[in-house]
């Protein structure tokens, strides 16, 4: 596409005429990846203003660069002749990507799910429930996927250029519904600009990501953006059991809302007669379409919330309650969410791998596991580096209070000193641990081995934090590591001790 035409379509009119006839083959936001024919967009980031890399991008063949006004002033004259300064480069990136890919979001019915926990589980549930009626595309933490296509994700919500490209591909593949996990980072960075949602879900808001948002109020305000007129054209579906969900209902005003709650009969969707089982939950669901008995293999109270949200979305999208209830028992779970690791029928302990990496999710999970633990509940976990430091002692305290034995280990230390992270977590554990056993072992492989080999028949070993991840990030290096594989190895060793 011609640069001039692209910029006009994106809503920009005042640019240098001699750039007008240039042909743009791709849009690229990392100068190091630029090739001949690319349009480079220098994004303002948390570390640097990417506009300063325009000379490098141009040297590598970029036809032009879109940069912030501040970085434009700093560019050498040769680069300035190929650069276009805009007031808001982050918004420009989304608008240009939308124009380049033909505004694909308008051709899909979109459902957005936001909240601290439950986005991946809820979007998967919705995908499963809607598939009898729609051709769905899913965008989330694990992958972008639709029938016949799956690509591992690097972020929960793709960056604007990737998102627009993937939306266009989804349409070309025949999809008519897009299900999207919308992270607070994505809303704050306007990655989803141009997306107009048929339904938007708010699952909950509890502490996470304070490294980025600084305080809970700013984190909430970022999430709340999804419910603005600019993004939401249809119905808001909101968890009334969460105090910030209640606040969001007040903020939204007259727009169509369906609320859900485990047991608040004022909500549009609520449950009664819940029975929690080791392998699922059953109960009665009350909806605007009537009442029905439901069964789900998902474990724990928090998953009832996910089920309620997914049923509400499905009814809003035109499914009948009967169809949804019939299909629900077949949805097993998402990889790495309360995933049981079993190597033999004779296995005498329960091992569960889960993605709980926030104080709230760790607390919910430990509470959900307790009633089905015959003997001791053992918790193996750590916290990610270069992320919210203040959640570490909170998670430590929760593990100390709710587990019988605590093993602290490394998660993804990234560029932080792993020892410092263990100390941050340990500080929280020590306040509440009393005389319960505490083990600190930074080597995650060794720690999982220890926890499983030291467990006694009837114990539950919960390995939290990394769930589906098949890597560990140590410094800037990503190495293969999978909690489920490590747990299996440890379980096999346990059933065949070394001395046999």
Ligand X SMILES: N[C@H](CCC[C@H](N)C(=O)O)C(=O)O
Q: How far apart are CA 53 and CA 293, in angstroms?
A: 59
The option from Mg ion, ligand UAG, ligand X, none interacting with 50 (CB < 5 to 8 A, set by class) reads: ligand UAG
Which residue from 45, 174, 288, 475 is in contact with ligand UAG, where contact means CB under 6 A? Answer: 45
| Residue among 124, 123, 135, 107 at smallest CA distance from 194 | 107
Q: How far apart are CA 203 and CA 245, in angstroms?
A: 8
**Residue 214 to residues 210, 222, 265, 387, Cα–Cα distance (Å):** 5, 12, 35, 11
Residues that bind ligand ATP (CB under 6 A): 115, 117-121, 141, 156, 181, 203-204, 302, 305-306, 337, 354-356, 360-361, 364-365, 467
- The answer to whether 272 is annotated as binding is no
The option from Mg ion, ligand X, ligand ATP, none interacting with 424 (CB < 5 to 8 A, set by class) reads: none
**Per-residue x/- mask for Mg ion, residues 92 to 121, rule CB under 5 A?**
---------------------------xx-
Write down the least CB distance from residue 441 to ligand ATP, Å: 22
Write down the least CB distance from residue 159 to ligand UAG, Å: 6
Write down the least CB distance from residue 122 to ligand UAG, Å: 13
- The answer to whether 183 is annotated as binding is yes
**Residue 146 to residues 114, 137, 153, 174, Cα–Cα distance (Å):** 20, 5, 13, 9
**Residue 162 to residues 158, 192, 422, Cα–Cα distance (Å):** 6, 11, 36
Within a 13 Å sphere around the CA of 248, how many CA atoms are in the beta-carbon half? 33
Write down the least CB distance from residue 31 to ligand UAG, Å: 4
Q: Which of residues 428-467 bind ligand X (CB under 6 A)?
A: 465-466
- The answer to whether 189 is annotated as binding is yes
Q: Which of residues 345-374 bind ligand X (CB under 6 A)?
A: 357
- Helices 359-369, 301-316: axis angle to 10 degrees equals 110
Token duo for residue 9: 């379509």
| Residue among 44, 66, 45, 46 at smallest CA distance from 54 | 66
Write down the least CB distance from residue 338 to ligand ATP, Å: 7
Q: β-strands 177-181, 136-139: how paired?
A: parallel
Phi, psi of 283 (to 5 degrees): 175, -170
Nearer to ligand UAG, 418 or 467 (CB): 467
Nearer to ligand UAG, 211 or 423 (CB): 211
Write down the least CB distance from residue 148 to ligand ATP, Å: 24
Residue 51 in contact with residue 28, Cβ under 8 Å?
no
- The answer to whether 31 is annotated as binding is yes
Binding site for ligand UAG (CB under 6 A): 29-32, 43, 45-48, 50, 53, 141, 155-157, 159, 183, 185-186, 212
The residue ranges that bind ligand X (CB under 6 A) are: 156, 357, 384, 387, 411-412, 465-466, 469
- Which residues contribute to the site for Mg ion (CB under 5 A)? 119-120, 141, 156, 181
As annotated, the binding site for ATP includes 115-121
């Amino acid at each position: 596409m011609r640069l001039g035409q692209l910029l006009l379509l994106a809503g920009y009119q005042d640019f240098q005429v001699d750039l007008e006839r240039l042909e743009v083959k791709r849009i690229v936001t990392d100068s190091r990846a630029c090739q001949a024919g690319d349009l480079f967009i220098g994004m303002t980031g948390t570390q640097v203003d990417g506009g300063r890399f325009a000379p490098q991008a141009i040297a590598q063949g970029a036809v032009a660069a879109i940069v912030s006004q501040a970085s434009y002033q700093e560019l050498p004259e040769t680069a300035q002749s190929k650069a276009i300064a805009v007031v808001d480069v982050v918004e420009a990136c989304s608008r240009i990507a939308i124009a380049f890919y033909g505004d694909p979001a308008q051709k899909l019915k979109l459902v957005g799910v936001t909240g601290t926990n439950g986005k991946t589980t809820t979007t998967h549930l919705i995908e499963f429930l809607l598939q009898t009626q729609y051709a769905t595309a899913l965008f989330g933490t694990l992958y972008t996927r639709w029938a016949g296509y799956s690509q591992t994700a690097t972020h929960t919500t793709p960056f604007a250029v990737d998102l627009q490209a993937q939306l266009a591909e989804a349409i070309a593949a025949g999809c008519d519904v897009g299900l999207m996990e919308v992270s607070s980072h994505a809303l704050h960075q306007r990655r989803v600009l141009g997306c107009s949602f048929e339904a938007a879900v708010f699952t909950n808001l509890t502490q996470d990501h304070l490294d980025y948002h600084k305080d809970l109020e700013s984190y909430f305000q970022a999430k709340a953006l999804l419910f603005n007129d600019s993004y939401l054209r249809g119905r808001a579906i909101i968890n009334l059991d969460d105090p910030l969900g209640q606040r969001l209902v007040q903020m939204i005003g007259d727009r169509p809302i369906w609320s859900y709650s485990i047991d608040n009969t004022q909500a549009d969707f609520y449950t009664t007669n819940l029975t929690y089982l080791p392998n699922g939950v059953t109960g009665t669901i009350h909806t605007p379409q009537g009442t029905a008995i439901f069964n789900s293999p998902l474990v724990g109270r928090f998953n009832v919330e996910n089920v309620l949200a997914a049923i509400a979305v499905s009814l809003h999208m035109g499914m009948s309650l009967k169809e949804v209830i019939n299909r629900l028992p077949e949805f097993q779970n998402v990889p790495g969410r309360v995933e049981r690791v079993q190597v033999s029928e004779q296995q005498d302990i329960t091992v569960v791998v889960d993605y709980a990496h926030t104080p709230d999710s760790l607390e919910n999970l430990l509470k959900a596991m307790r009633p089905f633990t015959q003997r001791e509940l053992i918790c193996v976990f750590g916290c990610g580096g270069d992320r919210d430091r203040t959640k570490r002692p909170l998670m430590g305290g929760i593990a100390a209070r709710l587990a019988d034995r605590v093993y602290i280990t490394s998660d993804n230390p990234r560029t932080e000193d792993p020892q410092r992270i263990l100390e941050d977590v340990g500080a929280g554990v020590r306040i509440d641990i009393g005389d319960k056993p505490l083990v600190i072992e930074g080597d995650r492989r060794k720690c999982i081995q220890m926890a499983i080999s030291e467990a006694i028949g009837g114990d539950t070993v919960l390995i939290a934090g990394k769930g589906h991840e098949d890597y560990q990030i140590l410094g800037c290096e990503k190495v293969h590591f999978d909690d489920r594989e490590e747990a299996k190895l440890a379980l096999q060793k346990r059933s065949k001790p070394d001395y046999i």
